[in-house]
A and B are shown apart, each in its own frame.
Chain A
Amino acid sequence: MSRTAFLTDSTLCIGCKACEVACKEWNGVGEDGLEWSGFSYDNTGALGHSTWRHVKFVEHAPQPGFGGNAPELNSWAFSSDVCKHCENAGCLEACPTGAIVRTEFGGVYVQPDICNGCAYCVIACPFGVVERNRDDGRAFKCTFCYDRQKAGLVPACAKACPTESIKFGEIESLRVKAQERVEELHQRGVKDATFYDAGNTSVGGTHAMFIVRGDPRSYNLPSKPEVPTIYLKKGWTSSVIGAALLLGGTLLAFLADGER
């Protein structure tokens, strides 16, 4: 069984939003409205219950030769964002119904027939991906095209991408490919090309990896995403101490009360 992944190479992205359209069409996801961020053509802003692919329009000061722009024009960098399908997924751990599962392809999948909309996954995701739909009541996010993958097809976004900015394949070979691509870019003079997969954090790597230019934070990619299960030990220790204090204190108070 192969474990699959996305590699989104933002240096190839032309911001056409074919991935967003393909995702919406294949999965039957609703529209996002028309509120623009910045001066660019980003009307979706962030990933959410109705946005499973999101093309970021990152505006940079003029950089001659970057993106084929005239030297005096601002440069746009594009990057298609998606659910990271974390190796240690906060949403999956937090889900109290078992609706969120790990698929045989390594993706994280919300079973819509199980989810009861408790919304705990929403605050367990370090990337702010999964969201509860107010009207429907359930939580939604990228399914990693589980249905298409089961049929042996690549996810809709990867298939529709005209520049192969969204690559899809076996995770290990994609990792190698990513390293090669970053080196190639460095050699070509794109010194700020960076690989991002949150591999050195408690998230333990992602099934959606990115090549971006410069600091990943300008793409809203956190430098230290943490899976919230790391807080459990501290929390439950405190809970046990609290319970012991409550029990001991109450016992002491009633035993010391001579008038009982």
Chain B
Amino acid sequence: MSRMTLQTEGDTHVVVTRHFAASPEAVYRAHTDPELIQRWLLGPEGWSMPVCVSEATPGGKIRYEWTNGKGRGFHLTGEYVELTPYSRIVHVERMHLPDPTPDNLVETKFQPDGDGTLMTLRMTLPDEPTRAAMLATGMEQGMEASYTRLEAIF
């Protein structure tokens, strides 16, 4: 039941779209209000976000800290660049693993779509190899291809 699409664009972009059964205002708020962000932007099952800083103003700080509750954790930092309530957010983000990954410039748009909202998230990576590394193999082909490779090697 995946309504999410994920596609590359040009050499350095990744575009994700998703429909939500709520108004653009509600979806926009869920992307900027720290208390709401903490409830969904969690990644894999079992992880939580004990720290969420989201200063939704140009230049405002973003800091998300995740933990799996078993001693593993990582964090993301970023800055808001532009905000147009309730239709568009531009921000920069990087993961700390613990070394920072290259900056990812993200533009998120919220457009009325029937009774709900179409969200379009457009990432801009610094260069083609960085994006290639993100997308090269697993994301579309899934685990099947990797097990085939594993069998070929062992």
A binds B: no
> Could you tell me which A residues sit within 8 Å of B by CB distance?
none
* Chain B residues in the interface with A (C-beta under 8 A): none
